[in-house]
Amino acid sequence: MRLLENGFRKRRGKIVRRVLAVAAYAVAVGTGADAQTYNLFGGPGLIETPTAEAFPDGELGATFAFFDRTSRANVTFQVLPRVSATVRVSTQPEVAMGPRISDEGYDVQFQLLKEGRFTPALALGFRDLLGDGPFGGEYLVATKTVLPGVKLSAGIGWGNLGAAGGFGNVFGLNVRPGPTALGGELQEDTYFQGENAFFGGISWDTPVRGVTLKAEISSAEEIPGDGNDDIGVNFGLTFAPSDRFSVAAYLLDGETFAGTFSLSGNPFKPIGPPDLGTGPVPVLKRADDAPRSTAWVSPENVDKVLTGLGTVLEPDGIVIEAARLTGTTAELEIRNTRIQREPKAIGRVARILAVGLPPSVETFRITLVENGLAITTAVIQRSDLEAQVDKPLAGLENWQTTRLLNARAGLTGEDVWQGTRPPRFFWFFNPTLPINFLDADDGIDPDLQLRLGAGYRLARGLTVSGEISRFLVGFDQIEDDEVPPPTGSLPPVRSNLDAFLSGRDVELERLTADFVFKPRPDLYGRITAGVLERLYHGVSTEVLWAPINSPLSFGAEVNYAALRDFDSLFGTQDFDTVTAFGSVYWDTGYKGFELQLDVGEYLAGDFGGTLSLTRRFNNGWRARAFVTRTEASFADFGEGSFDKGFEVTIPLGWALPFESKSEARLDFLPNENDGGARLKIAGRLNERIRDLDRASLRDQWHAVWQ
Amino acid sequence: MRAVLALLLGLAACSSDSSGEIRTALVERFRPGQAEAEPAAAAPAPLTRAAIEATGQAMLRARLVNETGRSVFAAQTANRGYVTYQSQFGQFLTLQTTLVTASRGAGFDLLAVSATPQDPLVSPRPVAEWPNSVPRVYRFAGQGPLGREVPVICRYEIGDVVEIEIVERRYRGPEVREICEGSGVAFTNLLFADESTGFVWRSRQWLGPDQGRIDIEVLEPFG
């Protein structure tokens, strides 16, 4: 018996390894076929069943589905051309006619083959990959276009997708064990086990614009455990008036109506034309016999030239903070307030310098300054610029000849021309949409919170600023004596968040003094003190070593934090702690992916690490997923087993027909649990500099000529 | 579109650096002239040949195919055969002889175009001597220093000889359809080539999948 069990284990291990191998293949290969519609689980598919299609690369879609007593909210991201991932919260009866419960799920689909002329697309997928929930299932599905607009799909499913019309497991693993790992963890001992079943269907893009008809045979069990294991026959209609919005109506099993609506956006398809407005100044090569004398250099002439340059750059939102002009070199520290792609700002400055400076000036050193921190210097030779302008490969050639350096802390000396420093007083207003996706009680819980902030710059790098907030929509406020006790032995460092959101209409989110500095060109420092976040006072210190020409950078952070009082603005409770982290940041160089690993001691004293994977698109979109594992036990952590989350940052320039550096961030928040909880500090160093590191500039360098 | 933008504007994060610009630009974009009350400008005088020649500059007249207004572009710079023209609205077109190789400020920038010396829009010659096909690479905003490359092959279909007028000058020659395909795109440029020299005096050229085509008349050639 033991031998037999071991045999099964080995076999399961082989299957899982092979599955992971083909999944890795899907990650590595190129583009896939584009899907048009979402199914009820938010993935590419028909009605309940999946198809082997993929959405366009980078596509972000939200699907809301309603039927019977079930509602689902799904957010799907096409991580790579052939890999999509879905985060879902669903609320449905636990058993037929039983009370409704909420459940979260994480799905992933790998397109193994794209559709060929004679061959179908093929995809492997997992539903509820990390969960112990009722919809867990695996599938292999093929899709082929058989006539213009007509696609056929057929597949085999396990788990929930093998529940209706099931037959003996094709691998001989007929018993699917219950969840073998805690909720939130991989259930690798259950995948592809138990009965399997066939499913399939057809979709037809009708001649009526935006209308797609669908029919399918579904092997999925709509309400797990309801005893109904009949094969489902479903019909439906999807109407997509645009490629960003669609609605659908379905008839499930001839008796249940279902409806969905979907919203989607794609970083590569901006809503507004991104390049409206004036073009850059044309560059003309200096005449070969142009006088190169530096006799023109005098304080008066330098002031006149730089004042003129500042005036010309102003319409593009570029401000010269300081400059030094010699007979052969122009050094400028600039603040780009409006242009979303930094190379475009660099290029516009270089063009203006090439047009406006006397012929003797050959070297341009353009330093980008963000919030008082000089970050990166681009060194451009004027003769290179003149030789490259208008050429077909000018973007590449300019990238190859431009030197990027870690900027010095600032220009110093008596010959430095002082330009326009940023206004001392500043303010900002920021609506946020925090969406608590993993609320076990309420399911999806969208809120709308308004944040208003203001600050005062005391000196370069030294700022005092604060933020207040108010919820306009959502959030059930509770009294502090209603806060549930912590589930485990960890101190309540984050689980008592709800109590901090009660009592006042307007909350003080943050009030800090921040000092950022550069001891040397590639080393950054930050000290932040005051009300660090909604729950903590304290002091935060950080250093970051970020050589510009290295894909790796390293940081360290030490914080002292004291728990704020529930009711009084500046009071504290009887809890304080010291947290410390070491961080590694790695630009993988692959499709804009960056990895970040933070290791250290979290607020509750638990030791562990957070791994973040961010995909940065060249137009400013960012999608970040992260997981945190610490020594906190499941009992200490509670639902979900460990902290995980997903967030998307969308530059508003993507949606507006003019340049803007403003952004909107959608947070799909993780559990507010005590394990793996970290201080939420605004303006960590990597956030301040990452748009100006070599990788980000390289990805956007085509814009240097725009 | 306007409703979407208004909604986004309402939700837009704004700051002391940007909010005024956002509102002004949006108002200016969709309600031209209403951002700041300014007196209406007098209607422009009709373009004449004498006025063109008086400038002494190479000039184009161009119109995006899906728009009605035409703009005059005057040559500003010439670098190794690439001539950049500017309109009074700050939009730019760069042409290699008569091939549009870049556009700026029109909505979706065409970053650059690579063409061979055999390309008849680059090296004019009588239509009978045009090659069967030519390769080109169009470049748009994308990942990396080169952006997104779209290589295509263009072939020609010679049509009837017609006569056209461009600001008091008449030209005679065949209409040519330039059919380009490759990299998942297909488009057709329309060219009017001079009967004797093959110089393309008027053309409708592709600026990209999002921008569409631009209708260009050469009012006064460069050089």
pLDDT tens-digit map of A538-590:
999 999 999 999 999 999 999 999 999 887 788 889 999 999 999 999 999 88
Residues of chain A with C-beta less than 8 angstroms from the C-beta of B137: 392
Which of A100, A119, A121 is closest to A31 using CA atoms?
A121
CA distances from A691 to A130, A369, A685, A694 (A): 33, 11, 11, 9
pLDDT band at A184; cut points 50, 70, 90: low
Of A396, A652, A658, which is closest to B29 when you measure between CB atoms?
Answer: A658
Residue corresponding to tokens 């003797």:
A360
Facing residue for A337 by CB, picked from B13, B17, B137: B17
* pLDDT tens per residue, range B65-93: 877 789 999 999 999 999 999 999 899 99
Least confident of A473-477, A515-519, A563-567: A473-477
Give the closest residue to A320 by CA, choosing from A329, A311, A342: A311
Selected residues 279-308 of chain A with any CB under 8 Å from a CB in chain B: 279-280, 282-285
- Nearest CA-CA partner of A108 in A123, A98, A90, A97: A123
In A, which residues are within 8 Å of B35 by CB distance?
none
pLDDT at A486: 65
Name the CA dihedral angle for A178, A180, A186, A187, rounded to a multiple of 10 degrees: -40
Q: Which residues of A touch B113 (CB under 8 A)?
A: 392
Query: Tens digit of pLDDT for each residue in A414-434?
Result: 899 998 777 889 888 776 665
Please report, for residues A162, A195, A218, A231, the alpha-carbon distance to residue A168 in angstroms, rounded to integers and kept in the order given: 10, 5, 17, 16
Determine the distance in angstroms separating the CA of A162 from the nearest CA of chain B, rounded to an integer: 39
Question: Which tens digit of pLDDT belongs to each residue from A591-635?
Answer: 889 999 999 999 999 999 999 999 998 888 899 999 998 988 877
**Contact call for A284 and B147, based on CB within 8 A:** no
Q: Search chain A and give the residue with CA nearest B83.
A: A390
Residues A418 and A282: their CA atoms lie apart, in Å, by 27
- pTM of the shown model: 0.84
**Complete DSSP assignment for A216-238:** EEE---SSTTSS--PPEEEEEEE
Q: Give pLDDT, residue A71.
A: 87
CA distance A182 to chain B (A): 40
Q: Does A699 touch chain B (CB under 8 A)?
A: yes
Sign of the torsion formed by the C-alpha atoms of A54, A56, A58 and A62 = negative
Q: Which of A665, A638, A642, A643 is closest to A652 using CA atoms?
A: A665
CA-nearest residue to B210 within chain A is: A273
Q: Give the number of other CB atoms < 10 A from CB of residue B216.
A: 23
Mean pLDDT score of chain A? 86
Task: Work out the number of other CB atoms within 10 angstroms of the CB of residue A4.
Answer: 8
pLDDT tens-place string over residues A83-123: 999 988 888 776 666 777 777 788 999 999 999 989 999 99
Tell me if residue B186 falls in helix, strand or coil: strand
Q: Say how far apart CA A454 and CA A338 lie, in whole Å.
A: 19
For residue B114, list its beta bridge partners. Answer: B137
| Measured CA distances, A102 to A68, A91, A182, A444 (Å) | 15, 4, 17, 9
Q: Is A87 on the interface with B (CB under 8 A)?
A: no
Which tokens hold the place of A160?
């929930």
What are A439's two structure tokens?
Answer: 């609320």
| Residue A703 near chain B (CB below 8 Å) | yes
Q: Which of B179, B174, B140, B215 is nearest to A268 (CA)?
A: B140
Cβ–Cβ < 8 Å for B85, B73: yes
The Cα–Cα gap between B211 and B221 comes to 25
> Which candidate in B31, B95, B104, B108 is best for mutational testing of the A interface (most A CBs within 10 A)?
B104
Residue among A586, A599, A591 nearest A622 (CA) = A591
Task: Give A17 or A409, the one with higher predicted confidence.
Answer: A409
- What is the least distance, in Å, from the CA of A284 to any CA of chain B? 6
Helix, strand or coil for residue A97? coil
Residues A66-92, mean pLDDT to the nearest whole number = 89
Give me the half-sphere count of Cα atoms (radius 13 Å) on the Cβ side of residue A405: 15
For residue B130, the tally of other CB atoms under 10 A from its CB is 23
Which of A336, A346, A650, A660 to probe by mutation at the B interface, max B CB count within 10 Å? A660
Q: Residue B145: which of A391, A396, A658 has the nearest Cβ?
A: A396
**DSSP for residue A165:** S
Query: Does the distance separating the beta carbons of A706 and B104 come in below 8 Å?
Result: yes
CB A38 within 8 A of CB A260: yes
Taking phi over 0 as left and psi of -120 to 50 as alpha, with beta for the rest, A15 belongs to alpha
Question: Rounded to an integer, what distance in angstroms lies between the CA atom of residue B147 and that of residue B139?
Answer: 6
A279 vs B144: CB contact, 8 Å cut-off? no
Residues 6+ apart with CB under 8 A from A550: none
Q: What angle do CA A365, A369, A375 make, to 5 degrees?
A: 75
The residue assigned the tokens 């976040």 is A533
Cα distance from A385 to chain B (closest Cα, Å)? 11
Phi and psi torsions of A509, nearest 5°: -85, -35
Q: Do A391 and B29 touch (CB under 8 A)?
A: no
Task: Determine, for residues A426 and B15 on separate chains, whether the beta-carbon distance falls below 8 Å.
Answer: yes
Q: Spell out the SS3 assignment of A349-405.
A: HHHHHHHHCCCCCCEEEEEEEECCEEEEEEEEEHHHHHHHCCCCCHHHHHHHHCEEE
Put simply, the answer to whether B13 touches A395 (Cβ < 8 Å) is no
- Predicted confidence at residue A352, as pLDDT, reads 96
Rounded to a whole number of angstroms, the distance from the CA of B120 to the nearest CA of chain A is 17
Q: What is the DSSP letter of A407?
A: P
**Is A341 exposed, middle or buried (CB count within 10 Å of its CB: 0-12, 13-18, 19+)?**
buried
Q: Phi/psi of residue A355, each to 5°?
A: -85, -35
Task: Report how far residue A353's alpha carbon sits from residue A357's, in angstroms, rounded to the nearest whole number.
Answer: 5
Name the DSSP letter for residue B127: G
Amino acid found at A613: L
Scored b (16 or more CB within 10 A) or e, A432-441 reads bbbbbbbbee
Q: Are B32 and B179 in contact (CB under 8 A)?
A: no
**Predicted pLDDT of residue A8:** 41
What is the mean predicted confidence (pLDDT) over B132-146? 95
ipTM for the assembly: 0.84
Size of interface A-B (CB pairs under 8 A): 178
8 Å CB contact between B79 and B199: no
**Is residue A73's pLDDT more than 80?**
yes
Query: Residue range A393-404: average pLDDT?
Result: 97
Where does residue A189 rank: exposed (0-12), middle (13-18), buried (19+ CB within 10 A)? middle
Please name the member of A280, A389, A426 whose beta carbon is closest to the beta carbon of B104: A280
DSSP secondary-structure letter at A653?
G
Instruction: Identify whether the C-beta of residue A267 lies closer than 8 Å to the C-beta of residue A617.
Output: yes
Kindly determine whether residue A394 and residue B112, on different chains, have CB atoms separated by under 8 Å.
Answer: yes
> Chain B partners of A591 at a C-beta cutoff of 8 Å?
143
Q: Give the pLDDT score at A14.
A: 57
Mean pLDDT for A203-215 is: 94
* Subunit contact A618:B143, Cβ cutoff 8 A: yes
Residue (of A256, A257, A259) closest to A248 by Cα position = A259
Max mean pLDDT range (A467-476, A496-505, B36-45): A467-476
Nearest to A699 by CA among A593, A617, A585, A587: A617
Give the closest-approach CA distance of A602 to chain B in angstroms.
Answer: 31
> What whole-number distance in Å separates Cα of residue A49 and Cα of residue A123?
12
Q: How confident is the model at residue A487 (pLDDT cuts 50, 70, 90)?
A: low
Tokens of A350: 């270089």
Res. B5 pLDDT band, cuts 50 70 90: very low
CB–CB contact A663 B13 (8 Å): yes
Beta carbons within 10 angstroms of residue A298's beta carbon: 9
Q: Kindly give the residue spans of alpha helices, DSSP state H, lying in B65-137.
A: none
Name the token pair of A195: 């009965």
Q: Is A656 on the interface with B (CB under 8 A)?
A: yes
Classify residue B81 as left (phi > 0), alpha (psi -120 to 50) or beta.
Answer: left
Residues whose CB falls within 8 Å of the CB of residue A98, separated by 6 or more in sequence, listed in order:
none
With contact defined as beta carbons under 8 Å apart, do A653 and B13 qualify?
no
DSSP string, A180-209: -S-TTS--TTTTT-S-EEEEEEEEEE-SST
How much is the pLDDT for A670?
A: 56
Inter-chain touch A703–B141, beta carbons under 8 Å: yes
Q: How confident is the model at residue A286 (pLDDT cuts 50, 70, 90)?
A: very high
- Cβ separation B13–A664 shorter than 8 A: yes
Best of A473, A649, A702 to substitute, by most chain B Cβ atoms within 10 angstroms, is: A702
